[in-house]
């Protein structure tokens, strides 16, 4: 079924396509390091016009990328191994839309726990799935997930929660800001969309 009116879809101009190609080339290699100045120059171009039903890319991919260890604390690196980006399905939307002012739509990308994702919604701890409103809010969405879900989830192995507690007590801090989290998501194919974030291409790091 259609989730939006296709007549309202703005087709990207050739200029926007050239900018998109530029962004793709700027972040093409797996081993590229985070450059905040370069990121700020192109982040506003990382968007897809129209609405989610026009997008063709779906799937899931962990947040963790090789560059994390250079910019994040050990705790944040660990957390990123246990959450993933995913595109919402009709059943996902149905399971969480009740009571929400702005529920997600099919195809919208969210963040979820990899340990309880296959469990029925009623068996998952709160905030098992969160939907950032834009790339720049991924950092705060993960903080909310960590605060409200991580310690309550019955499906995360005990050794992981113990290690997380140990790393928290170390109080080690990485140098990365929320811009790094947005940049890293962009390297996995995620872009800003009309009502949140979505995949602008097939998810995953480019070779």
> Is residue 13 a part of any domain in this protein?
no
The more confidently predicted of residues 139 and 95 is: 139
With cut-offs at 50, 70 and 90, classify the pLDDT of residue 35.
low
Please determine, for residue 26, whether its predicted confidence score (pLDDT) is greater than 50: no
The more confidently predicted of residues 27 and 191 is: 191
Please determine, for residue 16, whether its predicted confidence score (pLDDT) is greater than 60: no
With cut-offs at 50, 70 and 90, classify the pLDDT of residue 3.
very low
What does the pLDDT read at residue 100?
A: 65
Please determine, for residue 144, whether its predicted confidence score (pLDDT) is greater than 70: yes
Q: Range with the lowest mean pLDDT among 10-14, 41-45, 88-92?
A: 10-14
> Is residue 77 a part of any domain in this protein?
yes
What residues have CB less than 8 Å from 119, skipping those under 6 apart? Answer: 155
With cut-offs at 50, 70 and 90, classify the pLDDT of residue 83.
very high
Q: Taking a C-beta distance cutoff of 8 angstroms, is the pair 45, 23 a contact?
A: yes
> Is residue 50 a part of any domain in this protein?
yes
What does the pLDDT read at residue 17?
A: 44
Query: What is the C-alpha separation between 33 and 110, in angstroms, rounded?
Result: 25
If you average pLDDT over every residue of the chain, what do you get? Answer: 76
> Is residue 207 a part of any domain in this protein?
no
What are the C-alpha distances in Å from 67 to residues 42, 130, 133, 168, 201? Answer: 19, 24, 24, 21, 21
Reported for 86-94, long-range contacts at CB under 8 A and 24+ positions apart, including other chains, are 86/59, 86/60, 86/110, 86/111, 86/112, 86/117, 86/129, 87/57, 87/58, 87/59, 87/60, 87/198, 87/199, 88/131, 92/129
> Is residue 47 a part of any domain in this protein?
yes
> Is residue 171 a part of any domain in this protein?
yes
Q: Taking a C-beta distance cutoff of 8 angstroms, is the pair 142, 181 a contact?
A: yes
The number of CA neighbours under 13 Å toward the Cβ of 122 is 0
Please determine, for residue 132, whether its predicted confidence score (pLDDT) is greater than 90: yes
Please determine, for residue 175, whether its predicted confidence score (pLDDT) is greater than 60: no
The per-residue b/e assignment along 22-37, b for 16 or more CB within 10 angstroms, e otherwise, is: ebeebbeeeeeebeee
- Structural domain span for residue 56: 22-199
Instruction: Provide the number of structural domains found in the chain.
Output: 1
The pTM of this model reads: 0.73
DSSP H or E run through 199: strand 197-199
> Is residue 205 a part of any domain in this protein?
no
């Amino acid at each position: 079924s259609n989730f939006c009116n296709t007549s309202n879809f703005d087709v990207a101009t050739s200029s926007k396509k050239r900018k998109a190609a530029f962004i793709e080339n700027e972040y093409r290699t797996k081993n590229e390091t985070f450059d905040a100045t370069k990121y700020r120059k192109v982040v506003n171009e990382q968007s897809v016009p129209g609405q989610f039903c026009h997008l063709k890319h779906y799937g899931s991919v962990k947040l963790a990328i090789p560059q994390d260890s250079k910019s994040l604390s050990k705790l944040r690196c660990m957390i990123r191994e246990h959450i993933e980006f995913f595109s919402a399905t009709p059943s996902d939307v149905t399971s969480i839309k009740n009571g929400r002012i702005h529920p997600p739509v099919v195809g919208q990308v969210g963040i979820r726990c990899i340990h309880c994702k296959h469990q029925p919604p009623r068996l998952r701890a709160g905030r098992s799935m969160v939907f950032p409103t834009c790339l720049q809010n991924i950092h705060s969405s993960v903080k909310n997930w960590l605060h409200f879900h991580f310690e309550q989830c019955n499906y995360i192995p005990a050794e992981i929660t113990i290690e997380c507690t140990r790393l928290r007590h170390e109080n080690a801090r990485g140098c990365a800001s929320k811009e790094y989290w947005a940049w890293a998501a962009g390297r996995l194919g995620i872009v800003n969309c009309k009502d949140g974030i979505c995949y602008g291409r097939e998810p995953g790091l480019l070779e």
